[in-house]
Amino acid sequence: MINRTLTDKDGVKRYLITLNVNGDARTVLVKGNAILANVLRDELNLTGTKKGCELGDCGSCTILLEGKPVDSCMVLAIEADGLEITTIEGVAVNSKLDAIQEAMINFAAVQCGYCTPGMVLSAKALLTRNPHPTEPEVREAISGNLCRCTGYVHIVEAVLAASEGRLSPGEHEYPREEGAAI
């Protein structure tokens, strides 16, 4: 679906592509070897997509491509031509955070924040395809996202809570027995 190919004065081919990012069609001119993470950050100024290992191991650059989490450092921009892309900037709607974002904040699942965009997008993809996941399913869904700050406990709690409609730790899913400690 590449719109047009141009060759510059040095003989380098460039491709005019359209990326459907967060509901907006964005046309950019890229080299054939341009990495999607770099185009999102440098050309479209969507810096919520983080660059970590640039090898597809850490998950910091996770985006949703056609609704599925992918490491954008492993995707050529021309491969995403015409496809739906969701970055962290597209998760909140009208400045209202998504349930998973609220839960991540309220369950202290955010520390330095570098991995958070990728974690949120992986969790969002999981909750879209499986609204009521088990703990092992949550752990598997975020297994491609590395976090150096946490032991993942709060992240998993936040995803499970969001799946149950509990956005803060004070909203308990089970009735407490009379006299039970809080």
Average pLDDT over residues 4-9: 88
- Matching residue, tokens 């956005």: 167
Percent of the chain with pLDDT over 70: 91
Q: Confirm whether 169 is domain-assigned.
A: no
Q: Confirm whether 181 is domain-assigned.
A: no
Same domain, 35 and 83: yes
Residue 143: CA atoms inside 13 Å, Cβ hemisphere, count?
7
Confidence of residue 174 (pLDDT cuts 50, 70, 90): very low
- The residue range of the domain holding 136 is 99-164
Which pLDDT value is given to residue 111?
87
> Chain-wide mean pLDDT for the chain?
91
How much is the pTM?
A: 0.88
Last residue of a domain, one of 44, 63, 89: 89
119 vs 125: CA distance, rounded Å: 10
Confidence of residue 182 (pLDDT cuts 50, 70, 90): very low
